[in-house]
Amino acid sequence: MSGSAFRSVICWLLACLLPVQMLAGQPAVAVLYTTGQTWLNGNQVPKSAALYAGDLLQTHSDATASIQATGSSVMVMADSLVKFEGPAVEIEHGGVRVSTSQGLAAHAGDVVIKPIAQSWTEFQVVDVDGEVQIAASKGAVSVQDAQGTTTTVTQGQQTTRDDTSDSKKKKKKRRREGAEPAAQGGIMSSPWVVYGGMGVIGGGAVWLLLGHGGEGPASPACPTNPCE
């Protein structure tokens, strides 16, 4: 098969996957890796999954999870409920450890924690029973409370703030009572849909490369990113 024909087939396969990505709402912005029992939008995650802005992540009491995005990583602690927003993570309950060079912030109720500089910063935020504990291990972070007061926590320092968000306290109470373990996502937001489409493309590419197109192995004229 000629290089141009091979490129055409791969582009066709990508075109088939595009509607799936559009129905999913938006392209994945991070990858989730789990250790132990973890739920994503109400569905249990086996080991890894694509992560989208607005996804809700919940870890069991003996589980942790890692969010890997461009220039940032977030370790979600055990027994935590966290919403991934892309440029920020919202902590409903539990804690996170953030490492970022892209200014990724953390919200805990009405408390906002974010790096002061666009340089590598590491900090931890734990929100349990209405108390937000913040510690900066590398770089400095700003902390804004519900009253709008902003303070700076420098490297090696820590502080606490009250979580005064009444709506958040009500949500945490309902979740502890088991009323809503996590929000249910639509079928098209499931990572399995995206992975299935990717599998179709990968399988088609391998099929062609092995020479099952009828004229022997495919030409290497377009070895990478054939559609770009």
pLDDT in tens, 209-223: 445 444 444 444 454
Grade residue 130 by pLDDT with cuts at 50, 70 and 90: confident
The torsion defined by the Cα of 147, 150, 156 and 157, in degrees rounded to 10, comes to -40
Determine if the pTM surpasses 0.75. Answer: no
Question: Would you state the torsion angle of the CA atoms of residues 149, 77, 47, 10, taken in this order, to the nearest 10 degrees?
Answer: 20
Residue 21 CA: distances (Å) to CA of 83, 86, 191, 199: 21, 17, 10, 14
Apex 79 CA angle, 75 and 85, nearest 5: 50
Q: What is the CATH number of domain 30-178?
A: 2.60.120.1440
Report the chain's terminal Cα–Cα distance, integer Å: 20
- 167: its two tokens: 């709506």
pLDDT per position as a tens digit, 194-210: 445 445 444 544 444 44
pLDDT class of 168 with cuts at 50, 70, 90? low
Domain ranges of the chain: 30-178
Give percent of the chain with pLDDT exceeding 70: 60
CA 135 vs CA 113, 157, 163, 212: distances in Å:
10, 6, 16, 58
Q: Is the dihedral of CA 84, 90, 91, 96 positive or negative?
A: positive
User: Strand, coil or helix: what is 49?
Assistant: strand
pLDDT, position 207: 46
